[in-house]
Amino acid sequence: MNKSGMSASKCVAYARVSTENEGQAESCANQIALCQEYAERHPEYILDGKYVDDGISGATNKRPQFTAMIERIKQGDIRYIIAKNEDRLCRSTEVDGYLMKVCREYDVKIIFLESNKIFNPFDGQDLTVHGIMAVMGQQYVFHQSQVGKIAHEQKCRAKRLNATDVRYGYYWDKERKCMAVNEHEAEMVRKMFEWYVYNGLGVSEIAKKLAEHGVFGARSGKMLTANTVSARLEDEAYKGTFYINKKGSILNVGMDAKKKRFDRPKEEWVAVEGPAIVSEELFELAQRLREERRHVYDKTGKADTQARFRGTHLFSGKVFCGDCKTQFHFRYADRAKTTGEYKDYFSKSRKTLDAVCHNKKYNRIYEQTLITLCRYAINIFLKEHEACINNLKAVIRDSGLSLFADDKLLKDCQMHLEKVERERQKNLVAWRDAPDESMKQAYLEMYKSNDEEKKELEKKISGLIERRKDAGNVERKIDEIHRHIEDMKQINEIDRSVVQKFIEKIIIEKNGIITIILKFGAAYSAILPDNRKEEIEDVLCLDKVFILFFDADTIASKLQKYWWWRRCSDRA
């Protein structure tokens, strides 16, 4: 019943726009406003619900609010649908046929405000006209798709960016119609690359750091995933090269239709220059690091893929079984949690039921043992390359001081300046004494040329003199570099940063041979003793063989076994 006491029919209002922007959003609000005004002017209608689909094509029935409206109609008490025109409800003959079936089944009519018509699904003439409108609406979808393809092809040929190419760190400048750098976001992008390249952080650690700086997912509002950070580190747009035409789509119209999207091959991508956020050198360093970290441990296939966990434990992600390729994980060897060790959990991590690991005897190792072995391996390497480090010191000093020790360039410039000054004075006198105007002009041009050359030389000489004044500062900086190089000659403490900088991987074989591969290509091996209950404490150095431990049982049987180190030239 309405206010006047007359019976009123319940109706629902529906509005839709195909794209999410300010103009369309206003259009959608206007549609609902028109529906509401119509219901207020006609007391025989009561508006029972409003359904709005923002930014969804009418070519499919997969629209949340459209589906909700159909479910409401199926309750049986709705008699009218109010819409601006036919196109707002659907742009597909198949979806339109489904809507007509629902309307006939539940006795629902449609009020189209633009044409001021009430559509009756049981009227043959109305069905004919409405069917023609549905065909025209579907044809419009195909036409717009073709127009979009042509516009995209023109964009690719012109190598032109638009607002759809914006990603984190950039924004679209509407006035200049170009891509611009968002300085606040760009600062976080630079930090992200620096953390990855210079600080050795992994993608998950970077995501946590970004969260600490208030950077979260734009839609989810949650911490970025490792995949998102990884994709940003590989995005060439940050070095100034945007790629368009990376993806394609195939239009699909009808019930439950969904646009089919696919990735194009890289040969079809179109490179477009844009503003860079990071230098090309920093970006390339990041890509090289990513490639190295993907292949830290060479394997034959996906079944042997290396775990990429990079936690806080000293040797996490570095120790592997030579037989099954499984990563060793940290745990405590005692209840008091004072002795750390790394163990191979093959039984829990195996990928197939028939997989077997034959390394039963040497499937765990004390952390202190690894520390001792790695410290010796690194120091052996540094000792073997001590001459190279000393040469590096000499090269740095010579190259730094050579800029200031040689005065030949400064003297040459001063002599040239004197010559130019003499010519300048000579041309000035000749200009004054020239008999006619043409000669005066010629001497004047030569005078001006001498004057410009004099200014350039004075500027160059001034710069050379300033550089000579900085010689003392360079000497101090070179001494500081030398102190850092001296510190490199001996590693006493092993921490996570040392492991990250020096150790590539550690492989423990089933026969007790442990191999430590350094990031510089060198590899060192040792034989683990049968009795591994004691940790390594003392080290006896004998030439290039390092006896680290003696097994009492083996000595008693007159078979001396020892830890030994050797340079593995075939693995270097």
What are the structure tokens assigned to 131, written together? Answer: 């069917």
Average pLDDT over residues 136-163: 86
Domain regions of the chain by residue span: 9-143, 163-240+275-294, 303-384+492-567, 387-488
The answer on pLDDT for 369 being more than 50 is yes
List alpha helices for 319-436, DSSP H. 346-349, 367-384, 386-405, 408-433
295 vs 147, higher pLDDT = 147
**Average pLDDT over the chain, rounded to whole?**
79
Q: What pLDDT band is residue 437 in, cutting at 50, 70 and 90? A: confident
Average pLDDT over residues 60-77: 92
Average pLDDT over residues 382-395: 66
As a whole-number percent, the residues of the chain with pLDDT over 90 amount to: 25
Average pLDDT over residues 506-520: 87
What pLDDT was estimated at residue 186?
93
**At CB < 8 A and 24+ separation, what contacts does 216-225 make?**
218/168
What pLDDT was estimated at residue 431?
78
What pLDDT was estimated at residue 473?
61
Angle between helix axes 386-405 and 437-469 (nearest 10 degrees) is 140
**Calpha distance 565→545 (Å, rounded):** 5
503 vs 570, higher pLDDT = 503
pLDDT in tens, 440-453: 788 788 888 888 88
Q: Is the pTM of this model over 0.85?
A: no
Q: Which of 305-314, 402-411, 518-527 has the lowest mean pLDDT?
A: 305-314
Q: Does domain 163-240+275-294 have CATH number 1.10.600.10?
A: no
Residues contacting 4, CB < 8 A, separation 6+: 43
107: left (phi over 0), alpha (psi -120 to 50) or beta: left
Average pLDDT over residues 81-91: 91
What pLDDT was estimated at residue 234?
92
Amino acid, res. 551: D
pLDDT in tens, 273-299: 999 999 988 898 888 888 877 654 444
pLDDT in tens, 174-189: 888 899 999 999 999 9
What pLDDT was estimated at residue 6?
58
Average pLDDT over residues 121-132: 88
CB 253 within 8 A of CB 134: no
The answer on pLDDT for 10 being more than 60 is yes
Q: Which of 209-223, 345-359, 397-411 has the lowest mean pLDDT?
A: 397-411
205 vs 408, higher pLDDT = 205
What pLDDT was estimated at residue 490?
76
Instruction: Return the SS3 of 559.
Output: coil
DSSP string, 399-413: HHHHHHH--HHHHHH
The answer on pLDDT for 21 being more than 80 is no
pLDDT in tens, 531-572: 555 444 433 332 333 333 333 343 333 333 333 444 443 333
**Calpha distance 52→41 (Å, rounded):** 22
- The DSSP bridge partners found for residue 78 are 10
424 vs 488, higher pLDDT = 424
What pLDDT was estimated at residue 548?
38
Q: Which of 44-58, 233-247, 341-355 has the lowest mean pLDDT?
A: 341-355
CA 442 → CA 309, 423, 429, 431, 448, distances in Å? 77, 14, 13, 8, 10
Q: Which of 89-93, 163-167, 257-261, 387-391 has the lowest mean pLDDT?
A: 387-391
Amino acid, res. 378: I
254: left (phi over 0), alpha (psi -120 to 50) or beta: left
What pLDDT was estimated at residue 453?
87
- The DSSP bridge partners found for residue 340 are 332
Amino acid, res. 8: A
**Calpha distance 509→362 (Å, rounded):** 7
Q: Which of 126-140, 161-175, 546-560 has the lowest mean pLDDT?
A: 546-560
Instruction: Provide the CATH number for the domain formed by 9-143 in this structure.
Output: 3.40.50.1390
